[in-house]
Amino acid sequence: DQQVKQNSPSLSVQEGRISILNCDYTNSMFDYFLWYKKYPAEGPTFLISISSIKDKNEDGRFTVFLNKSAKHLSLHIVPSQPGDSAVYFCAASGDDKIIFGKGTRLHILP
Amino acid sequence: DAGVIQSPRHEVTEMGQEVTLRCKPISGHDYLFWYRQTMMRGLELLIYFNNNVPIDDSGMPEDRFSAKMPNASFSTLKIQPSEPRDSAVYFCASGNKGRFNGYTFGSGTRLTVV
């Protein structure tokens, strides 16, 4: 039973355009949501997070939007750069542990 | 700070053998997590510790899996006996309370059971 779902296994975006990665969750008790980025042969690295009391958090080129009523969050990357090509994991937390989705592989095209 | 250190980076073993994965968390971190990554299931939480005490092991797939944290600077994940379906990348992560900053992951151990 997947509590955090990333329904798009992969996404291709032109360099310079906006990348939008989506995530859905089922547990209304989650109070923090996070995005991690992973390169091959490395561990996931923390990218950005948002508290459930907010609907938007921005950090440079990265913005996370949260829609609690729809149990949906998204990560926007503007503008997309070649170094953004990686697997992005959506994650959620309701206590001390973090539950991850299966990930979306983002390809930035030249 | 060397980050979270996992060893070995790669492990190939025969079915039925015992496998031990090791993790050294970042000094000062109170929480330690073991995750497993597979294509089918993504990143799944196996077990986590707080101040060296196991808090939640509900993700441990079977009794063949066990984890220990004898002190604040060392943890092991053991599989005995190993099976081909255990082949995956195993990650260790550590951090302090305050999930909004996430936890720091090691580089992982790629386990192949043949």
Mutation target to probe the A interface, by most A beta carbons within 10 A, among B29, B33, B100 is B100
Chain A positions touching B2 (Cβ under 8 A) are none
pLDDT tens, position by position, for chain A (110 residues)? 789 999 999 999 999 999 999 999 999 999 999 999 999 999 999 999 999 999 999 999 999 999 999 999 999 999 999 999 999 999 999 888 899 999 999 999 99
- Closest CA in chain A for residue B5: A43
What does the pLDDT read at residue B105?
96
- Closest CA in chain B for residue A103: B42
Q: Distance from CA of residue A16 to its chain's centroid?
A: 19
Location of structure tokens 């997309």: A80
What does the pLDDT read at residue A97?
87
Q: Grade residue B2 by pLDDT with cuts at 50, 70 and 90.
A: confident
C-beta atoms of A46 and B55 within 8 A: no
Average pLDDT of chain A is 95
C-beta atoms of A43 and B93 within 8 A: yes
Q: Who among A49, A51, A102 is closest to B42 (CB)?
A: A102
Asked if the C-beta of B5 comes within 8 angstroms of chain A's C-beta atoms, the answer is no
Q: Grade residue B113 by pLDDT with cuts at 50, 70 and 90.
A: very high
Give dist(CA A80, CA A63) in Å, integer: 12
Residues B4-19: tens digit of each pLDDT: 999 999 999 999 999 9
Residues B23-63: tens digit of each pLDDT: 999 999 999 999 999 988 899 999 999 999 999 999 998 89
Among residues B42, B21, B44, B23, which one has the least CA distance to residue B104? B23
Residues B58-112: tens digit of each pLDDT: 999 889 999 999 999 999 999 999 999 999 999 999 998 766 778 999 999 999 9
Q: Grade residue B1 by pLDDT with cuts at 50, 70 and 90.
A: low
Report whether the peptide linkage leading into residue B25 is cis, meaning its omega lies within 30 degrees of zero: no
C-beta atoms of B45 and A51 within 8 A: no
Q: Distance from CA of residue A6 to its chain's centroid?
A: 9
Q: Who among A51, A93, A103 is closest to B42 (CB)?
A: A103
What does the pLDDT read at residue B102?
84
Give dist(CA B114, CA B103) in Å, integer: 32
